[in-house]
Amino acid sequence: MPVNPATSMEQRTRLQEQIDGYLRRDNVLRSMVTKLSLVQRWDMNSEAEAVERLKQSMFVRLGEFRHPMTQEVLATIDVGVKGKRKETPLMAEIATELAAETRDYLGLSK
């Protein structure tokens, strides 16, 4: 997610921490586990196990993106999940859901 270039590093760090704190709330994590059927898809015994795995797998970090045409470097906040290569399609679904949740939190949804 691109960040306004006029923001300072402190503002970006604060925003990153706010997003991370929001996404790690139990109600947000449980909602994602239910919506994506992660208990079954990860073959877990309980919702709590799936919530814990999601919490350990996800990340919110400061990053940057180099525009391919102009080579301009843009600041970003990266929201995603780490996982095994064989889980790539599921990780993509989870990352998409995390991004949607982040947009809702920031009031950027349509």
Average pLDDT over residues 25-50: 95
Report how far residue 1's alpha carbon sits from residue 62's, in angstroms, rounded to the nearest whole number: 10
Is there a domain that residue 93 lies in?
yes
Is there a domain that residue 1 lies in?
no
Domain span at residue 57? 9-106
Residue 109 has pLDDT above 90, yes or no: no
Is there a domain that residue 67 lies in?
yes
Report how far residue 67's alpha carbon sits from residue 49's, in angstroms, rounded to the nearest whole number: 39
pLDDT for res 15: 95
Report how far residue 64's alpha carbon sits from residue 53's, in angstroms, rounded to the nearest whole number: 27
Is there a domain that residue 81 lies in?
yes
Which tens digit of pLDDT belongs to each residue from 48-99?
Answer: 999 999 999 999 999 999 988 998 889 999 999 998 899 899 999 999 999 9
Is there a domain that residue 82 lies in?
yes
The count of structural domains within the chain is 1
pTM given for the model: 0.86
**What is the DSSP code (8-state) at residue 87?**
G
What's the whole-number average pLDDT of the chain? Answer: 93
